[in-house]
Amino acid sequence: MSEAKTVKRSAKSADLADKEKTASRATSERPRLRDAERTSKAILAAATKEFAERGYGGARVDAIAERAKINKRMLYHYFGGKDALYVAVLEGSYIAIRSAEARLDLSHRSPQDGMRELVVFTWQYFLDHPEFLGILSTENMHKARFLKRSARIFELHSPLVSEISGLLDRGAAAGVFRNDCDPVKIYMSIAALGSFFLTNRWTLSTIFRRNLSDKAEIDAWGEHIVEVIFTYLRP
């Protein structure tokens, strides 16, 4: 065998060995990446519960680490500290509802059907995610101080405002909605009617001597929100 062929074959073998090493490293790194992702998600889930239940001031890093079943040093490794973790929780909470809102297909609904779907969706989301209302309540007590620190704040703007605007325009053109509605006010009204009931039902139940946590009361309030919004929209 010539010297040139021997050198060429050796180079191929070396190249193959390098590729195998690279593939091996990539394969070994994938489980670590998956573990890191799982750990990060576990910390965020635990922190969301802790902040929602105890507020920013009452939440403790030790309690979050215990909920997540991790060493406290891991929490600091992933998020740096309590403030940064709280901002990440805020971002995650908003991103979750925005992602759910994005799955609504209001542009292909009639104005009335689309508006009803939006009201029902918002009410049901609040019922299914009480931690979201808890986080919002905490952040409003801080006058959005932490939310303003978020580099992703403009991503958190609801895409539904333009969708609502489309519903209102089509509804006004069809003569089923008034033609002077502000889509932001409509969105805020829907959210306010739902969140006020759920965050105040314990005190209101005591004052009015009615069990507002009863399923019948909750279902009736959901329909009440629909009626209020549609009464306002009526031309």
Residue 60 and residue 13: Cα distance in Å, rounded?
Answer: 56
Any idea what the CATH number is for the domain that residue 75 is in? 1.10.10.60
Q: Is residue 71 part of a domain?
A: yes
**Each residue of 145-172: b (16+ CB within 10 Å) or e?**
ebbeebeeeeeeebebeebbbebbebbb
pLDDT digits (tens, 9 = 90+) for 126-168: 999 999 999 999 999 999 999 999 988 877 777 788 899 999 9
Residues of the chain with pLDDT > 90, as a percent, come to 75
Higher pLDDT, 144 or 3: 144
Domain count along the chain: 2
Do 75 and 137 sit in the same domain of this protein? no
Cβ atoms of residues 122 and 149 within 8 Å: no
For residue 171, give the nearest of 120, 215, 109 by alpha carbon. 109
Do 108 and 56 sit in the same domain of this protein? no
pLDDT digits (tens, 9 = 90+) for 14-71: 555 555 554 445 444 455 555 789 999 999 999 999 999 999 999 999 999 999 999 9
pTM: 0.82
List the single range of 67-71, 149-153, 209-213, 223-227 with lowest mean pLDDT.
149-153
Any idea what the CATH number is for the domain that residue 113 is in? 1.10.357.10
For residue 132, give the nearest of 85, 198, 185, 183 by alpha carbon. 198
